[in-house]
């Protein structure tokens, strides 16, 4: 998204003189960037004011330009990701290695051919930040208008710079002879022309919250007791195919599972019962309980003791062994040698990439993600 919620300096036209002086110094060559954001002979307010007047002359706003760049960039990114997810492993492995700086092109809105350049070794933080980064970039984006055959290239930090700070960067060559100068400016009027930005049109990208299943753990071995527990306690069961089933359960990983098995016990009672279930005697179970009581009063590997006294340790052991927090986890048991395929599965209101399912026992957690919505003509090009 082009607008950051992290506190930062906005447009220099609304900043104080001291704030402008601070940021302007960061923008010069060999400060926050080797080539800089401003030429040594330029002033921040003058550059922004000039670009503001240029946009006003054609009835376009900074927000429209930033939204258009953001929408094209992120829609291409999603189209590219989904196209990759649809490819089989065999297809991916058989594709020739490309040494091109630019990615495979995608077509957005049926007109704009979009590509992403190779990422840099690091990222460029926004020079308008205060205490924390408000934006960052690490690569280039190229957009070709297939109708007019004109193209623009801009850094992926630019949508943020334009949308939040009204800054298209300084002009190449605006430096004293011999100095470095910025080479990343993209002219606002050229952007408006190539990206076909029209007055009064809302180009804000449409985002939608989608529920996805993300893996939190995986084990190539299927433990019979875990599979049996899943079949017994699952709230819902989903048969993906004959060799793969998914179970909706209230516990996540191994430690959660162990606590769930003794959900009617206190932590101390669970220690005793677990020891007995492993074939030990009642006397040995009591010894295990005493050891647990002592361990709670000792420093842990990464921190202080959980209990400062025997009374506190006993209070901990008297807590419920299992507390249902209302979260649901998807346990997928698969005997496939490899991942299931390239489709995206809809399970209990969330999407699961079949490629994420490997042989064995996989555990997924439902999470919400903001995903940009695609247009009907958005697709990858061969």
Mean pLDDT value across residues 228-255: 92
The dihedral region occupied by 250, where left means phi > 0, alpha psi between -120 and 50, and beta the remainder, is: alpha
Residue 334 clears pLDDT 50, i.e. is over it: yes
Mean pLDDT value across residues 263-288: 94
Mean pLDDT value across residues 166-185: 67
Q: b/e per residue, 170-195, with b = 16+ CB within 10 A? A: bbeebbeeeeebbebbbebbebbebb
Six-digit token string for 166: 């009204």
- Name the burial class of residue 241, with classes exposed (0-12), middle (13-18) and buried (19+) by CB atoms within 10 angstroms of its CB: exposed
Residue 174 clears pLDDT 60, i.e. is over it: no
Most confident of 180-194, 270-284, 291-305: 270-284
Mean pLDDT value across residues 355-375: 91
Six-digit token string for 110: 């049926």
Residue 91 clears pLDDT 70, i.e. is over it: no
Q: b/e per residue, 261-276, with b = 16+ CB within 10 A? A: bbeebebbbbbbbbbe
Six-digit token string for 224: 């019979």
Pairing of strands 360-372, 236-241: unpaired
Q: What local confidence, expressed as pLDDT, does residue 253 receive?
A: 83
Summary mean pLDDT of the chain: 87
Residue 6 clears pLDDT 80, i.e. is over it: no
Q: What local confidence, expressed as pLDDT, does residue 4 receive?
A: 46
Residue 179 clears pLDDT 60, i.e. is over it: no
Q: What local confidence, expressed as pLDDT, does residue 42 receive?
A: 84
CB contact at 8 A, 197 and 186: no
Nearest-angstrom CA–CA distance, 291 and 285: 10
Mean pLDDT value across residues 184-195: 92
Q: What local confidence, expressed as pLDDT, does residue 133 receive?
A: 74
Mean pLDDT value across residues 64-75: 96
Mean pLDDT value across residues 11-23: 86
Domain ranges of the chain: 12-205, 209-262+324-377, 264-321
Of 11-20, 127-136, 238-247, the one with minimum mean pLDDT is 127-136
Most confident of 23-37, 78-92, 139-153, 329-343: 139-153
Of 112-121, 136-145, 213-222, the one with minimum mean pLDDT is 112-121
Predicted structure pTM score? 0.75
């Amino acid at each position: 998204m082009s607008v950051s919620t992290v506190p930062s300096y906005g447009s220099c036209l609304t900043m104080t003189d001291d704030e402008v002086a601070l940021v302007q110094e960061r923008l010069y060559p060999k400060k926050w960037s080797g080539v800089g954001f401003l030429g040594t002979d330029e002033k921040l307010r003058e550059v922004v004011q000039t670009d503001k007047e240029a946009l006003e002359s054609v009835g376009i706003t900074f927000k429209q330009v930033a939204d258009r760049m953001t929408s094209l960039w992120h829609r291409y990114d999603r189209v590219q990701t989904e196209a990759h997810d649809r490819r089989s492993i065999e297809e991916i492995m058989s594709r020739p290695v490309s040494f091109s700086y630019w990615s495979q092109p995608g077509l957005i809105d049926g007109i704009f051919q979009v590509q992403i350049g190779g990422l840099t070794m690091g990222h460029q933080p926004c020079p308008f930040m205060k205490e924390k980064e408000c934006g960052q970039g690490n690569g280039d984006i190229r957009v070709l208008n297939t109708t007019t055959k004109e193209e623009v290239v801009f850094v992926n930090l630019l949508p943020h710079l334009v949308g939040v700070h009204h800054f298209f960067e300084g002009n190449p060559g605006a430096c004293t002879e011999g100095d470095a100068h910025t080479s990343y400016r993209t002219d606002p009027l050229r952007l408006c022309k190539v990206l076909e930005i029209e007055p009064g049109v809302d180009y804000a990208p449409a985002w939608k919250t989608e529920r996805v299943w993300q893996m939190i753990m995986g084990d190539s071995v299927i433990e019979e007791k875990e599979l049996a527990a899943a079949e017994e306690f699952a709230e819902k069961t989903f048969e993906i195919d004959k060799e793969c089933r998914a179970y909706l359960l209230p516990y996540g990983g191994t430690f959660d599972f162990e606590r769930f098995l003794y959900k009617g016990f206190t932590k101390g009672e669970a220690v005793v019962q677990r020891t007995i279930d492993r074939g030990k005697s009642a006397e040995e179970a009591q010894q295990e309980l005493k050891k647990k009581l002592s361990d709670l009063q000792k420093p842990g590997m990464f921190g202080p003791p959980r209990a400062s006294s025997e009374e506190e340790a006993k209070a901990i052991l008297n807590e419920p062994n299992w507390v249902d927090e209302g979260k649901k986890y998807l346990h997928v048991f698969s005997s496939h040698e490899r991942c299931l395929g390239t489709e995206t599965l809809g399970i209990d209101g969330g999407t699961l990439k079949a490629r994420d399912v490997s042989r064995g026992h996989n555990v997924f957690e439902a999470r919400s993600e903001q995903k940009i919505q695609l247009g009907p003509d958005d697709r990858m090009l061969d």
